[in-house]
């Protein structure tokens, strides 16, 4: 964000990336490689600097902190996830299949780096941390993910009570976040327990959403709507400027 880059030199059009960006990219790759090989806590900044044949100080010129590398990783895998999710969703119209595909896409793009997510989780719980999915620093990724939930709903056969509908993207997002959290700390072999949990619980959640249309449940639903309004005061769907990718040159 806020990178003042003038695309007027021919070299930049060719290589597309400044020297600084290339160095940052190199540092990132070396770091992730080391983290996966030796663990996040076990890898020191001096290790990273040495592996990159650089001084620790230079590292801090390109990254504000050790954890910021994980932040970049998080952004990176999000792109993969979004792509995989969209492909999975394009194959189905039934909401259950679409959403299950989305969840599967999320876990499989995380699979190879569960340990990094543990590190992320540790700091991410504090909403004041820059790594928190709920904080302002992650707004972009968060809203993009919530928008992915909207896509998942929009192309599907899912029906729900009109009052519930605007909250659905956020709710599905929260459900996914909870599952990721469960998965990260799931010690069962290959995290089969989370798989089983998803298989059992998700259809019931969806069933409840569909049930919301039945009028007689009104007396139960009324207070739950109040809860939704309290916890999600401004759902993305009800925002003014919900313009998507209108990049103006």
By the criterion CB under 8 A, which residues form the site for a copy of itself?
118, 121-123, 125-127, 185, 193, 196-197, 200-201, 203-204, 207, 220, 223-224, 226-227, 230-231
Tokens read off for 73: 């990783």
- Identified binder of DNA from the candidate list 67, 104, 137, 151, rule CB under 7 A: 67
Residue 169 burial class via C-beta count within 10 angstroms: exposed 0-12, middle 13-18, buried 19 and up: buried
* C-beta of 38 vs 239, nearer to DNA: 38
- The backbone torsions φ and ψ at residue 134, rounded to the nearest 5 degrees and listed phi first, read -100, -15
Q: Does 211 bind DNA (CB under 7 A)?
A: no
d(CA 144, CA 150): 10
For residue 124, how many other CB atoms are within 10 A of its CB?
23
Q: Does 71 bind DNA (CB under 7 A)?
A: no
- Residue 164 binds: one of DNA, a copy of itself, none (C-beta under 5 to 8 A by kind): none
Q: 192-211 vs 168-184: helix axis angle to the nearest 10?
A: 160
Smallest distance, Å, CB 14 to DNA? Answer: 13
Tokens read off for 57: 């100080």
Q: Does 129 bind DNA (CB under 7 A)?
A: no
d(CA 183, CA 194): 6
Q: Does 36 bind DNA (CB under 7 A)?
A: no
Smallest distance, Å, CB 34 to a copy of itself? Answer: 21
What DSSP assignment string belongs to 21-72? HHHHHHHHHHHHHHHHHH-TTTS-HHHHHHHTTS-HHHHHHH-SSSHHHHHH
- Identified binder of DNA from the candidate list 9, 10, 204, 245, rule CB under 7 A: 9
- Residue 23 binds: one of DNA, a copy of itself, none (C-beta under 5 to 8 A by kind): DNA
Interface with DNA by CB under 7 A: which range of 51-59, 165-173, 192-200, 221-229?
51-59
- Residue 193 binds: one of a copy of itself, DNA, none (C-beta under 5 to 8 A by kind): a copy of itself
Helix, strand, coil share of the chain (percent; to 5): 70, 0, 30
Smallest distance, Å, CB 87 to DNA? Answer: 36
Name the site residues for DNA (rule: CB under 7 A).
4, 9, 18-20, 23, 41, 43-46, 53-58, 60-62, 64-67
């Amino acid at each position: 964000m806020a990178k003042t880059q003038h695309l007027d030199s021919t070299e930049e059009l060719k290589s597309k990336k400044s020297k600084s960006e290339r160095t940052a990219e190199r540092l990132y790759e070396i770091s992730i490689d080391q983290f996966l090989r030796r663990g996040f806590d076990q890898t020191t900044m001096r290790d990273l600097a040495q592996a990159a044949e650089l001084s620790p100080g230079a590292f801090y010129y390109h990254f504000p902190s050790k954890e910021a590398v994980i932040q970049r990783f998080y952004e990176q895998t999000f792109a993969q996830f979004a792509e995989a999710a969209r492909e999975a969703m394009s194959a189905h119209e039934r909401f259950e299949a679409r959403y299950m595909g989305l969840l599967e896409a999320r876990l499989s793009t995380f699979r190879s780096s569960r340990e990094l997510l543990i590190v992320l989780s540790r700091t991410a719980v504090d909403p004041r941390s820059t790594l928190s999915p709920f904080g302002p620093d992650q707004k972009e990724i968060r809203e993009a993910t919530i928008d992915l939930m909207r896509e998942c709903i929009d192309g599907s056969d899912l029906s729900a009570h009109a009052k519930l509908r605007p909250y659905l993207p956020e709710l599905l997002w929260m459900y996914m976040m909870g599952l990721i959290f469960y998965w990260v700390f799931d010690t069962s072999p290959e995290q089969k327990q989370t798989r089983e949990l998803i298989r059992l619980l998700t259809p019931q959640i969806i069933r409840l959403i569909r049930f919301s249309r039945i009028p007689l449940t009104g007396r139960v639903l009324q207070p739950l709507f109040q809860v939704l309004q309290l916890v999600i005061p401004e759902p993305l769907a009800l925002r003014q400027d919900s313009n998507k990718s209108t990049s103006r040159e």
